[in-house]
Amino acid sequence: MKKINKTRFAVLGMLFNKPQTGYEILQMMQQSTANFWQESDASIYPMLKKLEKEGKVTSCSASTGRRERTIFTITPMGKKEFLAWMALPPEEQNYRSELLLKLFFGSYISPKKMVKQLELRLQAVHTEREHYRDVENTILAPLSNKDPYKLFGMLTLKYGIWHAKAELEWLTECIKILEKK
């Protein structure tokens, strides 16, 4: 079976709520899904063209000052495809972690060097956790409790917060164990 590029569903999902330009889709993703699903303009713009060719989105030009903007709108066919995908169980994703690969082969370097690798990740996870708190306070908190985006945005944010908390605990434990060696 042919593997489907999931970028199409990320784009259709962003357009489901309201018409947007490619740039606005990218900005919205950077503020919402970037912690678990990243796309670049190099993937969004070709996908918009493909979806338009398939009749899943339409586009119209709008002038704002000197710039011409292309605004994309999801079509009923695009909504149907998106909702059909939403009803399917998610495909399993292959998980890859360079840190875990290095830890697995950690016996080939000194425990002190491995601790340094773990400490670098510990700092990065602290930064991620602060980012999640900022998202909660600056993006989700101001939304109305009646806004469905707030509920589902908060649920995905909770995943990131809990994942960061668990990873911080695990990293701290690994460092303690290796420092005893």
Mean pLDDT of 136-162: 80
Residue 15 belongs to a domain? yes
Phi, psi (deg, nearest 5) at residue 95: -95, 130
Residue where the block lists tokens 């690994």? 174
Q: What is the pLDDT of residue 138?
A: 80
Amino acid, res. 89: P
Residue 1 predicted with pLDDT over 60: no
Residue 63 predicted with pLDDT over 90: no
Does the reported pTM lie above 0.95? no
Answer with the residue of higher pLDDT: 155 or 80.
80
Residue 129 predicted with pLDDT over 80: yes
Domain that holds residue 30: 6-87
For 16-56, how does the pLDDT look when each residue is reduced to its tens digit (9 = 90+)?
A: 989 999 999 999 998 888 888 999 989 999 999 999 999 99
Q: Are residues 66 and 102 in the same domain?
A: no
Q: Are residues 174 and 112 in the same domain?
A: yes
Mean pLDDT of 61-81: 91
Local structure of 35: helix, strand or coil = coil
For 95-117, how does the pLDDT look when each residue is reduced to its tens digit (9 = 90+)?
A: 889 999 999 999 999 999 999 99
Reported confidence tier of residue 82, pLDDT bands at 50, 70, 90: very high
CB distance 16 to 74 below 8 Å: yes
Residue finishing a domain among 46, 68, 87? 87
Q: How many domains does the chain have?
A: 2
CA gap 42, 163 in Å, rounded: 29
Mean pLDDT of the chain: 91
Q: Are residues 108 and 163 in the same domain?
A: yes
Residue from 58, 82, 61, 53 nearest 72 by CA = 58
